[in-house]
Structure 1
Amino acid sequence: MSHYPHPIIAREGWPFLAIAVAVAAGATWLVCALSLPTLVAALILVPLWIIALFVLQFFRDPPRTVPNSPRGVLSPADGRIVVVEKTTDPYLKREALKISVFMNVFNVHSNRAPVDGEVTQVEYFPGSFVNADLNKASLENERNAVVVRMSDGTEITFVQIAGLVARRILCYTKVGERLARGQRYGFIRFGSRVDLYLPPNSLPKVTVGDKVKATETILAELN
């Protein structure tokens, strides 16, 4: 898998941004050509340019600095911590520490690998689109699970989950490939969530309500 060059605006958003800007620019030209009254012009153009700016901010994809913490599990997404609990990993069928990051429409939606390792499983599950902030979204919503085995044999699972308005999960990694910490491996369009299932003796470094940044925030330490 090739490394993503971080062009500031995610490639997944280029078509959406091009359409939004083209519509806003075309409307601006038409309004000027017709010499419409200022108030009418504002009522037409302001919403269109707001939409274009929203699309621009949604698909931003800034580069991130990987912290020097070999046993640290990095956040796979920007957002807010909504779950830190002991539970069962439904993909590896074992006890686990679960940490969930909820992304709203104002967060960066590029997903990044939390650890170094070899991809041993990639599984896609169709499902519903309930609010990703709800716990039931973990097992009911459309989702894509990736399992990575680290060099010492430790396995962790991270799951992209579609949200209430998300309709496209993109995962670019495959079984047998190696991921590096902080490497971009996927994207979810619009509000969504990422769940991590770690070994149960992992030490959480975040609590519910914390704001986190992909790659730069350490969610837990592996023992």
Structure 2
Amino acid sequence: MKFHKEGYTTLALSILVVFVLNALVHFFYADNKALTWIVYFLSFALLVTVIQFFRSPIRKINGNDQKILCPADGKVVVIEETEETEYFNEKRLQISIFMSPINVHSNRSPVSGIVKFFKYHPGKYLMAWNPKSSTLNERTTIVVKTTSGAEVLFRQIAGALARRIVWYVNEGKEVKQGEEFGFIKFGSRVDVFLPIGTKIKVKLGDKVKGGITELGEF
């Protein structure tokens, strides 16, 4: 288990806040044991929350060009055939994974290939499970063309708590299945759009893991 690099600043600020708060309590309220223990508890809870949110587990990725791996930890909230209007302009199979604040929030490429399209969209911060969040919220859209010629679109979507999407890819970059392509802070969602006819291997409500769970098979 590692601590994700996106959390370094947040952890440093949290430690500073905890240090200052505890110093003030000890200076002004040294005789108030109840208040002292409350501050201890809140300080511990804050640091544990930050550490668990930015944890980055080491995972062994079993790559397979015929498989589509899950891009994020979370819960499958959408499986449906829908019209994808930003890039394909045709029907695709959409699978959406909702990431709660307690999930690992690093995002992994579901397939290997070349990034054929990338776009960042500033936007709103609706609840991540709101269907309109796919088109109205802050988001990125990434399309990877595999060696077989199939194209897979995946989209990072910020949630009500998320205020920063991070990505590590651009058009023309080669990506490997299961490698990290981005990170979203504090609750979010990832949509994946697959070719019609893809064999889906998950169902609604399934708990999934990024880079481990198989979403489908070409």
TM-score bracket, normalised by the shorter chain, equals over 0.9
CA deviations over 1:68-112 (Å, ceiling 9, x no partner): 533110111000000011112222212111000000100111011
Alignment partner of 1:43 out of 38, 41, 63: 38
TM-score scaled by length of structure 2: 0.94
**Unaligned segments of structure 2, at least 5 residues:** none
Q: In the alignment, which residue of structure 2 is the partner of 1:181?
A: 177
Distance 1:136 1:202 in 2: 25
1:15 aligns to 2:15 (yes or no): no
Aligned partner of 1:62 in structure 2 is 57
Alignment partner of 2:73 out of 49, 55, 78 = 78
Verify: 1:193 aligned to 2:189, yes or no. Answer: yes
Amino acid aligned to 2:166: L
Please report how far the alpha carbon of residue 37 of structure 1 lies from its aligned counterpart in structure 2 after TM superposition: 2.5
Corresponding letter in the other structure for 2:116: T
Q: Does 1:121 align with 2:80?
A: no
CA pair 36-214 structure 1, distance change in 2 beyond 3 A: farther
* In structure 1, C-alpha distance between the alignment counterparts of 2:158 and 2:175, rounded to whole Å: 22
One-letter amino acid of the counterpart of residue 52, structure 1: L
Structure 1: any 5+ residue segments left out of the alignment?
1-6
Q: CA deviation at 1:63?
A: 1.5
Q: State the identity as a percent.
A: 39
Q: How does 1:86-97 map to 2 (within 5 A)?
A: 86-90=81-85, 91-97=87-93
Q: Is the contact between residue 141 and residue 162 of structure 1 (CA under 8 Å) also seen in structure 2?
A: yes
The count of residues paired between Structure 1 and Structure 2 equals 216
Q: 2:168 maps to which residue?
A: 172
